[in-house]
Structure 1
Amino acid sequence: MQRYQHTVAGEARCKGVGLHSGREVELSIKPAPPNHGIRFSRIDLPNRPTICAIFKNVVDTSLATVIGGEGAIVSTIEHLMSSFAGLGVDNALVEINSYELPILDGSAAPFARMITEAGLKEQDSPRYYFMVRQPIQLAENGRSVTIYPDEQARVTCNIDFPHPAMGKQTVSITLSGNAFEEEICRARTFGFLHELEFMKQCGLAKGGTLDNAIVLDEEKVINEEGLRFEDEFARHKLLDCLGDFSLLGIPILGHVVTHKSGHAFNHAFLEKFFQEKDCWETTTLIAQEKAVMQA
């Protein structure tokens, strides 16, 4: 775990197609000072409106995580946000010339590769954490998100889809070392063929293809190359979870466990998390180490 905040050491760039808009979009990630957080700037609009990537700025979670502010929106931020969280980037400015991030290959791997190639730079400000002291749970209609006290940053995701190629899957990760890069970032987004066809009829998923998503018919995965992991579906849900929970603004020291959750339910949990202020405290690892030494 990191004692100090980090930003990217240099600029990183990519371009691609938005999943729903089908528009070509260019994106760049730039270094930012301590306590800046992750912010998105719409450089295609007058005055370049900038939106801080925190949960109170979330304006839609129906198909993706969308943030808004200053009269602008930025959509489908979860894969990039997951990469920032998984790689330990606290501060960055993301400049984008459209309202939707590129889907790339449907996973977080291209974003993670961009960031690692740019490198990380340690900054001179301590990194703050939410340290969970008591469990917090939100449960509804068979779905749940629970967070338990833990000395590490851990996430466990459980999915249960009534489909022969999916079914019940569980995956768990401790965010340390290269775990995100090796176990999670390559897992792709997924959807069902009938849903994709319907969305295209409604003018959505214009950029969706078999090159940037796992697509299932009623019985099987129809992508010729198959899956990257046997449990790729659960791994991608965990990837999305990391992106959603990063919108708390600072990382969590605790064990997040989700069951049949998605963007909307994750966001509802973030609101409950902030209501349960007696269950957590903000601290730094430096402060915790001093407290242990003085005890």
Structure 2
Amino acid sequence: MDNLSGEPTPYSKSAEILPATMRQMRTTSSPAQHTLHHAISAVGIGLHTGRSINLTMEPAPAGHGIVFQRTDLPDAAPLPARYDYVVETRLNTVLGDKNHPENRVATVEHLMAALCGCGIDNARILVDGPETPVFDGSAADFVFLLDCAGRKTQDLPRRVIQVMEPVRVDYKNAWVELLPNDGPTPHLSMSIDFPASAIGTQSFALDLTPTTFRNDLARNRTFAMRQEIEALHQAGLALGGSLLNAIVVDNDHVLNPTGLRCPDEFIRHKIMDAVGDLYMAGAVLNARFRGYRSGHALNNQLLHALFAQSSAWQDTTNLQSASAAA
């Protein structure tokens, strides 16, 4: 969970600009876009509202992107899963319509991570409430649903954003950055440092592929400190939280009877959150992502900083397709 607030300050380090030779796009062809083979539905509890939520994921045409739709609000506008539609980042990532504040969908990051990890580019996500179901607090159930729905190849190449220059955002003693990446897949690394000794200092890094997402990230659950839960409830948050859908830590104790799924489940979950937040670039983001004590707020600010600096990124989709056709 991420309780950072305020306005982080972005900057880029021009001394580390990607070499000109790397600016020439690779001649490998861009992979195709994918959507669901068929629609699939499920019901679960909202982590923050405690409400029962009906979720349906439907196929969408090529170029559509990931779009959320509230079905319980008449005439509610669709909410594209993009960084510029994020309206709140306290403890979760919330998409919303700034002109109609009631039209919002919270806790989208785990589903977005699953869509990214499963290679789904286009889908309509229908919910009849203000957030997605939390299920067990990880992305595993979303991956299961996507596997059941199947995957369909489409006739457009995947949109790929290549990071060309370093971009960084700092806030107090936390930071995140995107760096140019010469590899074929994104690389993510992060460190956290919590006063609770059950968490402490943890670090993790991986190259993001469908296999590493499933094996190393998808099953890791969200977490909270026991002493923070009452304050969260008073703020109208975490009303659906329980030991069935979150890890609860009391200093040096993990209160869940079944314990942790792996010793470093906390940092793996934070990286999984980052995968979901960064997929709101609206494309595959090929970069090296690094973070220290980061969360949803910094992840979103990092995308704003990236796209505000035109020299820091390049949409390589058409360039790769043209190279493949030549």
Any idea what the Cα deviations from partners look like across 1:241-266, whole Å, max 9, x if unmatched? 01111111011111111111011111
**Could you tell me whether the CA contact under 8 Å between 2:36 and 2:58 is conserved in 1?**
yes
Distance 1:24 1:215 in 2: 22
- Partner of residue 145 from structure 1, selected from 141, 161, 176: 176
Residue in 2 that maps onto 1:113: 144
**Could you tell me whether the CA contact under 8 Å between 2:196 and 2:251 is conserved in 1?**
yes
Q: Which amino acid aligns with 1:73?
A: R
Give 4+ residue runs of structure 1 displaced > 3 Å after superposition: 286-294
Residue in 1 that maps onto 2:118: 87
Q: Which amino acid aligns with 2:315?
A: T
Q: Secondary structure at the match of 1:173?
A: strand
Q: Which amino acid aligns with 1:198?
A: A
Equivalenced residue count is 293
Distance 1:2 1:227 in 2: 39
Residue in 2 that maps onto 1:268: 301
Q: Which amino acid aligns with 1:92?
A: A
Any idea what the Cα deviations from partners look like across 1:86-118, whole Å, max 9, x if unmatched? 111110000110011111100110001100111
TM score, norm. by length of structure 1: 0.94
Shift of the alpha carbon at 1:140? 3.0
Q: Secondary structure at the match of 1:98?
A: coil
- The 5 Å alignment of 1:1-295 reads 3-69=31-97, 71=100, 72-150=103-181, 151=183, 152-284=185-317, 287-288=319-320, 291=323
Q: Secondary structure at the match of 2:277?
A: helix
Shift of the alpha carbon at 1:291? 4.2
Q: Secondary structure at the match of 1:131?
A: strand
Distance 2:321 2:51 in 1: 49
Decide which moves more: 199-208 or 124-133.
199-208
Distance 1:211 1:42 in 2: 26
Q: Which amino acid aligns with 2:60?
A: A
Distance 1:292 1:95 in 2: 36
Shift of the alpha carbon at 1:154? 1.4
In structure 1, stretches of 5+ residues that fail to align are: none
Distance 1:12 1:157 in 2: 33
TM score, norm. by length of structure 2: 0.86
In structure 2, stretches of 5+ residues that fail to align are: 1-28
Q: Which amino acid aligns with 2:189?
A: T
Distance 2:235 2:189 in 1: 34
Q: Which amino acid aligns with 1:41?
A: Q
